[in-house]
Structure 1
Amino acid sequence: MKRDVNLNRLAVFVALVRAGSFTAAAAQLGMTKAMVSQHLLQLERELGVTLLVRSTRRMAMTEAGVAFHADCVQLLEQAQTAIERIGHQRSKPTGTLRLTTSTDYGTAVIAPALAAFQRLHPSLQVDLVIDDQINDLIAERFDLAIRIGWLRDSSLRAMRLGSCRQLVMAAPAYLAEHGAPRRPEDLVTHGWIAMSPLPTPLRWTFTRGSQRRVVRMRQVMQANNAAAIRALVLAGAGVSVLPDYLVRDDIQTGRLQVLLAQYRLPEGGIYAVYPDPQPPAKVRVFIDFLRDHIGAL
């Protein structure tokens, strides 16, 4: 028959046996002697057995009390170990950090950052999943996602780590053949490589001070991935918009050129998104590390 037992009384019972008297147990537990006695009586009623026999001068455990006490000690020790283990996870990075991000940002930024992060925390395992789809963090048991752009409404927690600029790019060979645009409107005469997943891949808004210009491009190609678009632009197939983190080296080496640098396109955010309202240490330290890493780029 199932019995409803108040588990808090187990700790009182163990403390009473350890102390050897109701008076000493009451002092250790911060209770009155009457409260300790009441807890024991209630526990015995809930269990349906006598655990202690006592007189005015002494007390002794029954046979059932001896066996139950041994089980209670083991149970409380296991509970304490579990509490300490959780506390350890809260204070020190342990276990496996499972995260996901997009293909282009994952290869350009996250993978190199994880290599440096793991050197700082060699006991921490890392599981990086590259995917251009929006993963279900809870169903797929991800600790966090790094997402770029503009976040959808969600019950997940999000922390902004930085921002990324969108730059109009072309290869020198393409510009030598077709010329460089001087105004946003000039882009309509150039072949545009569109990012197909965007809601309006051919419509872009340029700002310069208080000026705002909306331009509709002429598509010659499209691709569903920023890394693929970068490869097409490098090959001289046309002009496109690429995120700054993907083309830093190309700009420095001269493989690609920034067009219309005096104009701005909408900036996207870089976010750490996670499901846990109280994230463990492994998530907190990685978010702090990545924020610093992004800030130094």
Structure 2
Amino acid sequence: MPELRDVNLNRLVVFAAVVEAGSLSAAADRLGLAKTMVSTHIQRLEAEVGATLIVRTTRRSNLTEAGRTLYDASRECVRAASDALSAISATSGPLRGTVRVAAPVDYGTLVVAPALAALRCAHPGLDVELVCGDSYVDLVAERIDVAVRLGNLRDSSYRAARLGQYLRWLVASPAFLAGRRLPKSPSGLAEFPFVALSTLAHPYTRSLSDASGQRVTIRCKRAFLANTANACRAATLAGAGFGLLTDFSIGEDLKAGRLVRLFPQWAGEPAAIQAVYPSTRQPSPKIAAVIDALRTHLAKSGSEADQRRVSARRKASGEAPTAARKR
């Protein structure tokens, strides 16, 4: 039976990289080593533990049962050591290294990118990589440090930090509404063409609620189906149908009159915006910095939005701005 003292722990880093990269060549590129050196490390690790860990083919490397057991433990060891090194570095200076962040396309473009840009300006030694996509991201397999997710979490094995929440609003373009008579209640929208997001479990069934707690479910008419939120917004702007779009993505469209909000007292159920990261005792300094940057950006954006709403109300009522009233 192998003992810990018989195993070169440096090889666990190489082993974990091979599993996550999917091949010896890809792991060699990631680690900056020759492929022959990576292969040698794996062979020696297998000799040290007394078991075959990886079955190698010309294209991929597949784990054996023993390999899976060792990888699950190695992954936690490597991550814990990496977090400890980051924590040590953080106490002696600014953040350094690389942080990889994943986010949905629309939220990543509108919110995450500017927040990370501000973080990068504060820490010039930190390299930021933002990966935007509307498909589910495996944090470990894709080496993601933080993923921003909208709605309910699919995997409870990750830790999560709540950033805020968002709503979906009923909207349509003026061109789409021209010549159409709106129904008296949201349920009447079932007869109107609808722009749907295909990545949802039930893209044509939409649930709404109002401030009093009333709820209604609409079975929408098939008209336009797209696989990204950005495409749904574009189609709604172009008049393909009405949409149920996220409030953070259409604020400027409403302000400019490109979209009109339908039944303003109704909205989709509030949904959480969360930053998730692999389970550790505490987030690394880089992860904590990303979460803080996102919260700071959201707080600033919220304050600016509040100021715009107050200004709009004053303008509508004819009330003078604060500075003018003081004079």
Equivalent in the alignment of 1:267: 270
Moved more, 266-275 or 130-139: 130-139
After TM superposition, give the deviation of residue 179 of structure 1 in Å: 3.1
Where does residue 114 of structure 1 map in the other structure? 116
Structure 1 residue 134: deviation in Å? 1.3
Report matched runs for 1:7-86 at 5 Å: 86=87
* Ranges in structure 1 where 5+ consecutive residues have no aligned partner: 6-82
Structure 1 contact 171–235 (Cα < 8 Å) conserved: yes
Aligned to 2:106: 104
Query: Partner amino acid for 2:286?
Result: K
Deviation at 1:259, TM superposition (A): 0.9
User: Match of 1:163, as an amino acid?
Assistant: Q
Which residues of 2 match residues 222-233 of structure 1 at below 5 A? 222-233=225-236
Counterpart of 2:15?
A: none
Matched, 1:283 2:287: yes
Structure of higher CA gyration radius: 1
* Residue among 256, 259, 266 paired with 1:256: 259
Q: Check the 8 A contact 2:118/2:293 in 1, yes or no.
A: no
| Aligned-partner Cα distance in 2 for 1:135–1:153 | 11
- Residue 60 of structure 1 corresponds to which residue in structure 2? none
Q: Deviations over 1:120-157 (max 9, x none)?
A: 22221101111222111112211110111111132111
Partner of 1:87: 88
Q: Distance in 2 between matches of 1:122 and 1:166?
A: 36
What is the identity, as a one-letter code, of the residue corresponding to 1:247? Answer: I
Q: Please report how far the alpha carbon of residue 101 of structure 1 lies from its aligned counterpart in structure 2 after TM superposition.
A: 1.1
- 1:170–1:238: 8 Å Cα contact kept in structure 2? yes
Q: Is the 8 A contact 2:99 2:286 kept in 1?
A: yes
User: Contact 2:159/2:277 (CA < 8 Å) preserved in 1?
Assistant: yes
* 8 Å CA contact 1:178, 1:190 repeated in 2: no
Task: Give the residue type in structure 2 aligned to 1:87.
Answer: I
Take 2:266 and 2:274, find their aligned partners in 1: how far apart are those partners? 25
Note if contact 1:93-1:280 (Cα within 8 Å) is conserved in structure 2: no
| 1:148 aligned residue | 150
> How many angstroms does 1:84 deviate by?
7.4
- CA separation in 2, counterparts of 1:121 and 1:104? 25
173 and 274 in structure 1: CA distance in 2 versus 1, 3 angstrom threshold: same
Q: Is the 8 A contact 1:90 1:280 kept in 2?
A: no
AA matched with 1:95: G
CA distance in 2, matches of 1:114, 1:180: 42
Give matches, 1:232-243, under 5 Å: 232-243=235-246
TM-score normalised per structure 1? 0.68
Give 1:177 shift.
2.6
Name the Cα RMSD after superposition. Answer: 2.2
From the superposition, tell whether residues 158 and 200 of structure 1 become closer, same or farther in structure 2 (CA, over 3 Å).
same
Show CA shifts across 1:49-80 (max 9, x none).
xxxxxxxxxxxxxxxxxxxxxxxxxxxxxxxx
Whole-Å separation in 1 of the counterparts to 2:172 and 2:85: 57
Unaligned 5+ segments in structure 2 are 7-83, 302-327
Cα deviation, 1:190-222, whole Å, max 9, x if unaligned, reads 111111111111112222213221211111111
Asked if the contact 1:89–1:280 (Cα under 8 Å) also holds between the matched residues in 2, the reply is no
What SS does the aligned partner of 2:178 have? helix
Q: Measure the CA separation in 2 of the matches of 1:86 and 1:222.
A: 46
4+ residue runs of structure 1 moved beyond 6 angstroms? none
Q: Aligned in 2, Cα 1:84/1:204: closer, same or farther, shift over 3 Å?
A: closer
Question: Against the structure 1 CA distance between its residues 201 and 216, is the aligned structure 2 distance closer, same or farther, given a 3 Å change threshold?
Answer: same
Residue 163 of structure 1, CA deviation: 0.5
Q: Aligned residue for 1:294?
A: 298
Deviations 1:160-207 (A, max 9, x none): 100011111100111123233431112012111111111111112222
Please give the secondary structure, in 2, of the residue aligned with 1:264: strand
Indicate which of 158, 161, 164 corresponds to 1:162.
164
Shift of the 172–281 alpha-carbon distance from structure 1 to 2, 3 Å rule, reads same
* CA distance, structure 2, for counterparts of residue 95 and residue 196 of structure 1: 37
CA contact (8 A) 1:103 1:130 kept: yes
